[in-house]
A and B are shown apart, each in its own frame.
Chain A
Amino acid sequence: DAGVIQSPRHEVTEMGQEVTLRCKPISGHNSLFWYRQTMMRGLELLIYFNNNVPIDDSGMPEDRFSAKMPNASFSTLKIQPSEPRDSAVYFCASSQQGRYNEQFFGPGTRLTVL
C-alpha cells in the first residue's frame, strides 16, 4: 500500500484565489482526518469523516473552508477565498474503524498564500 496520498505537495497562490487540496486514504480505512499545522498553533484538527460522513467540523476556522468526501477513497479540502493567514502545512490522515485507532498521516501539502 502506498500510504495516504496527498496532492499537491506544494501550492503557492495569491490571496483571493480558490485552493483545493486532495487526499486519498489508505485502502480499507474508513476514518479520515484533515489537520492544519503552523508554528503558532501546532497541529489542529479541522474536520474528520467516518464512513464518508462528516462527524466533527468544529475545527474548521470559518466558512471559507469546506471539506467533502464523496467516496471512501477521496476527500477534498477547499479554501475559497484564500488569505495569507491560511498559509500552513495541511495533513490528511486515515485510520481503520474498530481498532485502537492509529492514524496514518499523508506527506502534507505546504500552502503559501501571497
Chain B
Amino acid sequence: GENVEQHPSTLSVQEGDSAVIKCTYSDSASNYFPWYKQELGKRPQLIIDIRSNVGEKKDQRIAVTLNKTAKHFSLHITETQPEDSAVYFCAASIRAAGQNFVFGPGTRLSVLP
C-alpha cells in the first residue's frame, strides 16, 4: 500500500521568510496530492492540490511542486505570516471512485514575529 513520509516534523521561521515542507510517496499509481492545513483545535482544510499531469501549481503565496520520477512533492510558502502557523499535512491518492487519502504525519509550522 501507499506510504507517505513528510519532513520536517517541526519548522520555525521568521515572519517574512519562506517555508518548505517535503513529502515522498511510495505508490507510483498515486496521481493526486492535496495539502491540508490544520489550525489548533480546528479541522483540516484543503489549501492547495496538484495532479500528476502538472509539475507545479501556485496560488498567491503558496506553491506546490511535484516530481513524479522521484516520487516527491513539496509545499512552498513565501512571505510567511503569523496566521500561517499551523500543522500542515500532505497526502497521496489515486484518483478513482472513492479512493482514500494516505496522509503524511504532519509538519508543525511556527512563524515567529
Contacts and interface: CB of A to CB of B under 8 A. Distances in A.
Contacts of B101: 45, 103
A84 B99 CA distance: 31
Per DSSP, chain A at the interface is strand
B76 interface: no
Contact of A101 (B99, B102, B105): B99
B49 A102 contact: yes
Interface in B79-99: 89, 93, 95, 97-99
Contacts of B100: 33, 45, 48, 55-56
Interface string A79-102: 000000000000100000110111
Contacts of B93: 101
A43 interface: yes
Interface in A23-39: 30-31, 33
Contact of B103 (A43, A97, A102): A43
Interface stretch (B18-26, B40-48, B65-73): B40-48
A45 B102 CA distance: 8
B32 A97 contact: no
A98 B106 CA distance: 27
A48 B97 CA distance: 12
Contacts of B99: 101
Contacts, number: 52
A49 B99 CA distance: 10
Interface in B2-41: 32, 34
A49 B98 CA distance: 7
Nearest to A98: B97
Interface string A46-61: 0011110001100000
B105 to A, nearest CB: 5
Interface of A: 30-31, 33, 42-43, 45, 48-51, 55-56, 91, 97-98, 100-108
User: Which 6 pairs from chain A and chain B are nearest by CB?
Assistant: A50-B98, A105-B43, A31-B98, A42-B105, A43-B103, A97-B97
21 contacts: A42-B105, A42-B106, A43-B89, A45-B102, A50-B97, A50-B98, A51-B98, A56-B100, A91-B44, A97-B97, A100-B49, A100-B95, A101-B93, A101-B95, A102-B46, A103-B34, A105-B43, A105-B45, A107-B42, A107-B43, A108-B43
